[in-house]
C-alpha cells in the first residue's frame, strides 16, 4: 500500500516551525467571522454597514476586529472616501481572492454535511447520556 498524499509528507508539515506557521494562518482564516466576511466580499467591495447587515449576527465590534485582522494579514483592503459621513469600503486583495475557492468549498461541504453531522452529534450524545 502506498501513501496517497506524499506531497504533504514531503513538505514535512509536522516540523514545529511549520506547525506554527500553519496554525497562525488557520487562526485567522479559520474562524467563522473571517470565513463569512471573505465569502461576502467575494462578490465585490462592500461598505461596513452592508457587511454587518449581510452577516446579521455579528456585532459591530467583532466585525471591526475581523476586518482589521484580515487587513493586517493582507487579505482585505480598506478604502476611505472623504465625504460627510466618510465612506469606507472593504475589498478582497489578490491574496484574499485566492482564499475564495477553499472557503467556498468548506462552506459547501458544511451545508452538504450539516444533517449528517447533526445526526452524529445526536447519536454521540445519546450514547453518552
- Torsion angles phi and psi, residue 43, rounded to 5: -90, 0
Residue 20 lies in a domain: no
**Cα separation, 79 vs 94, whole angstroms:** 15
Supply the pLDDT for residue 10. 54
**H or E stretch including 91?**
strand 87-92
Residue 121 lies in a domain: yes
User: In which band, very low, low, confident or very high, does the pLDDT at 40 lie, cut at 50, 70 and 90?
Assistant: very high
Could you read off the pLDDT of 56-73 as tens digits, one per residue? 899 999 999 999 999 999
97 in Cβ contact with 44 (< 8 Å)? no
Residue 75 lies in a domain: yes
DSSP secondary-structure letter at 2? -
Supply the pLDDT for residue 6. 53
Domain span at residue 111 reads 25-128
SS3 state of residue 76 = strand
Q: Read off the pTM.
A: 0.76
We report the CATH number of the domain holding residue 66 as 1.10.10.10
- Torsion angles phi and psi, residue 29, rounded to 5: -85, -10
Residue 95 lies in a domain: yes
How many domains are there within the chain? 1
Could you read off the pLDDT of 69-124 as tens digits, one per residue? 999 999 999 999 999 988 899 999 999 999 999 988 988 898 999 999 999 999 99
Residues 57, 59, 65: CA angle, nearest 5 degrees: 125
Supply the pLDDT for residue 76. 97
Residue 2 lies in a domain: no
Amino acid at each position: 500500500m502506498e501513501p496517497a498524499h506524499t506531497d504533504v509528507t514531503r513538505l514535512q508539515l509536522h516540523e514545529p516551525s511549520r506547525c506554527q506557521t500553519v496554525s497562525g494562518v488557520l487562526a485567522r482564516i479559520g474562524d467563522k467571522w473571517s470565513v463569512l466576511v471573505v465569502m461576502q466580499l467575494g462578490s465585490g467591495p462592500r461598505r461596513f454597514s452592508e457587511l454587518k447587515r449581510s452577516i446579521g449576527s455579528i456585532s459591530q465590534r467583532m466585525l471591526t476586529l475581523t476586518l482589521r485582522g484580515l487587513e493586517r494579514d493582507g487579505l482585505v483592503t480598506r478604502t476611505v472616501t472623504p465625504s460627510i459621513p466618510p465612506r469606507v469600503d472593504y475589498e478582497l486583495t489578490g491574496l484574499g481572492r485566492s482564499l475564495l475557492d477553499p472557503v467556498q468549498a468548506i462552506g459547501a461541504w458544511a451545508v452538504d454535511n450539516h444533517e449528517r453531522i447533526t445526526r452524529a452529534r445526536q447519536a454521540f450524545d445519546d450514547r453518552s447520556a
